[in-house]
């Protein structure tokens, strides 16, 4: 009798281990297929971090918002509502501590600093994982492109749908970073 319960428990655990990754993959693919694409301008990073691993770390120019609300607390989760500027890059239209009843794309972020009406936040999609053999070359290309400071030449392409956010690619001069490294 106990063996049958253990067998049923084993089957349930195995199904859960299969279901969770499949649900994550389907959600990400759904965001890419039917979500809205936003381009986020990136800023320079420290290229000498020995603990970075096989990915590149991204920092974004869009990292703060001025508000009259003085109740923001460091570490608090907030909702960043997005719109595109005249150049086609993402910018903050408004922020909120709770979801708003408006038809606008948003991402959640964490407050990193608040002082005199300026709320700084960190976006959750700040790492871009790559093929192991190209990651170091991509990081060098990314750092060089940032240093060259050609207007709007380095950005992250992020898809947003409902509460799902997917960092699809990092582009340098409108070329995906994997292809840019191969040049």
Q: Which domain holds residue 87?
A: 35-182
Domain assignment of residue 109, yes or no: yes
Q: What is the model's pLDDT at position 162? A: 81
CB-count exposure of residue 31 (10 Å: 0-12, 13-18, 19+) = buried
For every one of its 183 residues, what pLDDT tens digit does the chain have, with 9 covering 90 and above? 588 888 899 999 999 999 988 888 887 787 788 778 788 888 655 444 555 556 677 888 888 999 888 888 899 999 999 998 888 899 999 999 988 888 888 999 999 988 888 999 999 888 887 777 777 777 777 777 767 655 457 888 999 888 788 888 888 888 888 787 777
Could you give the CA distance from residue 60 to residue 78 in angstroms, rounded to a whole number? 17
Could you give the CA distance from residue 3 to residue 69 in angstroms, rounded to a whole number? 59
Domain assignment of residue 147, yes or no: yes
E strand or H helix at 172 = strand 164-172
Domain assignment of residue 111, yes or no: yes
pTM: 0.74
Q: What is the model's pLDDT at position 151? A: 47
Q: What is the model's pLDDT at position 78? A: 93
- Give strand pairing partners of 65: 119
Domain assignment of residue 24, yes or no: no
The three-state secondary structure class of 137 is helix
Count: domains in the chain: 1
Spatial CB neighbours of 15, under 8 Å, sequence gap ≥ 6 = none
Domain assignment of residue 76, yes or no: yes
Domain assignment of residue 120, yes or no: yes
Could you give the CA distance from residue 121 to residue 17 in angstroms, rounded to a whole number? 33
Give the number of other CB atoms < 10 A from CB of residue 132.
Answer: 10
Domain assignment of residue 6, yes or no: no
CB-count exposure of residue 124 (10 Å: 0-12, 13-18, 19+) = middle
Domain assignment of residue 7, yes or no: no
């Amino acid at each position: 009798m106990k063996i049958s319960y253990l067998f049923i428990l084993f089957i349930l655990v195995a199904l859960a281990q299969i279901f969770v990754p499949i649900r994550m993959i389907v959600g990400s693919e759904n965001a890419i297929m039917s979500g809205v694409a936003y381009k986020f301008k990136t800023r320079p990073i420290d290229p000498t971090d020995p603990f970075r691993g096989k990915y590149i770390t991204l920092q974004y120019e869009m990292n703060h918002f001025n508000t009259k609300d003085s109740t923001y607390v460091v570490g608090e989760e907030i909702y960043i509502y997005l719109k595109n500027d005249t150049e086609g890059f993402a910018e903050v239209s408004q922020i909120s501590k709770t979801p708003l009843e408006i038809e606008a794309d948003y991402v959640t972020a964490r407050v990193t600093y608040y002082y005199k009406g300026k709320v700084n936040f960190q976006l959750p999609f700040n790492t871009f994982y790559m093929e192991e053999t190209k990651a170091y070359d991509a990081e060098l290309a990314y750092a060089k492109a940032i240093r060259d400071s050609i207007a709007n030449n380095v950005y992250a392409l992020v898809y947003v749908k409902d509460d799902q956010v997917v960092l699809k690619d990092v582009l340098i001069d409108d070329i995906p970073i994997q292809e840019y490294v191969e040049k």
